[in-house]
Amino acid sequence: MTLNRRYLLSALAAACMSLSSAHAADRWNMSVEQPDGNYISAVAREFAADVAKATGGELEIKTHSNSSLFKRPDLKRAVQTGQVQVGDVLISVLGNEDPIFEVDAVPLLARDFDSAWKLWKASRAGMESRLQKQGIKLLYSVPWPPQGIYTKVPVTQMAQFKGMKFRAYNAATSRLVELMGASPTTVNSGDVPQAFGTGLIEAMITSPATGVDSQAWDFSKYYYDVQAFIPKNVTMVNARAFERLPPASQKAVLEAAERAEKRGWDMARKQTSELTQTLAKNGMIVGTTPPAIEVELTKIGAVMAADWVKKAGADGKAVIDQAKR
Q: Are 229 and 147 in contact (CB under 8 A)?
A: yes
| Closest to 121 (Cα-Cα) out of 323, 325, 324 | 323
Same-domain status, 40 and 179: no
For range 74-91, the mean pLDDT? 97
Per DSSP, 161 falls in state G
Concatenate the DSSP letters of all residues of 238-279 into one string.
Answer: EHHHHHTS-HHHHHHHHHHHHHHHHHHHHHHHHHHHHHHHHH
Residue 59: inside a domain: yes
For range 225-233, the mean pLDDT? 97
Rounded to 10 degrees, the C-alpha dihedral 265/307/298/72 comes to 40
Last residue of a domain, one of 260, 277, 294: 277
Same-domain status, 307 and 241: no
What pLDDT sits at residue 10? Answer: 47
Per DSSP, 214 falls in state T
Same-domain status, 187 and 306: yes
Residue 12: inside a domain: no
Same-domain status, 125 and 273: yes
Same-domain status, 40 and 138: yes
Residue 125: inside a domain: yes
Please say if the pLDDT value at position 22 is more than 60. Answer: no
What pLDDT sits at residue 17? Answer: 43
Same-domain status, 102 and 87: yes
Q: CA geometry: angle at 101 spanning 98 and 104, to 5°? A: 140
Residue 3: inside a domain: no
Give the model confidence (pLDDT) of 237-247 as tens digits: 999 999 999 99
235 contact partners, CB below 8 Å, separation of at least 6: 30, 44, 47, 86, 87, 88, 138, 139, 140, 141, 142, 257, 260
For the domain that residue 53 is a member of, what is the CATH number?
3.40.190.170
Give the model confidence (pLDDT) of 139-169 as tens digits: 999 999 999 999 999 999 999 999 999 999 9
Q: Are 293 and 157 in contact (CB under 8 A)?
A: yes
What pLDDT sits at residue 24? Answer: 60
pLDDT level of residue 25 (50, 70, 90 thresholds): confident
Same-domain status, 251 and 290: no
Please say if the pLDDT value at position 263 is more than 50. Answer: yes
Tell me the H-state helices in the chain.
3-22, 39-54, 72-81, 113-132, 171-179, 192-197, 208-213, 239-243, 247-281, 291-323
Amino acid at 147: Q
Q: For all residues of the chain together, what is the average pLDDT? A: 92
Using CA atoms, how far apart are residues 139 and 134, in angstroms rounded to an integer?
15
What pLDDT sits at residue 3? Answer: 43
Q: Total domain count for the chain?
A: 2
Q: What is the span of the domain harbouring residue 197?
A: 148-228+285-323
Give the model confidence (pLDDT) of 167-209 as tens digits: 999 999 999 999 999 999 999 888 999 999 999 999 999 999 9
What pLDDT sits at residue 21? Answer: 40
Same-domain status, 58 and 190: no
Please report, rounded to a whole number, the percentage of residues in the chain having pLDDT higher than 90. 90
Same-domain status, 153 and 92: no
| Closest to 253 (Cα-Cα) out of 62, 82, 51, 43 | 51
Residue 244: inside a domain: yes
Give the model confidence (pLDDT) of 313-322 as tens digits: 999 999 999 9
Same-domain status, 300 and 271: no
Residue 197: inside a domain: yes
Give the model confidence (pLDDT) of 295-314 as tens digits: 999 999 999 999 999 999 99
Same-domain status, 78 and 210: no
For range 37-49, the mean pLDDT? 97
Residue 6: inside a domain: no
Using CA atoms, how far apart are residues 27 and 10, in angstroms rounded to an integer?
30
Give the model confidence (pLDDT) of 267-280 as tens digits: 999 999 999 999 99
Same-domain status, 139 and 174: no
For range 246-256, the mean pLDDT? 98
Concatenate the DSSP letters of all residues of 175-191 into one string.
Answer: HHHHHTT-EEEE--GGG
- Phi, psi at 284, each rounded to 5°: -75, 150
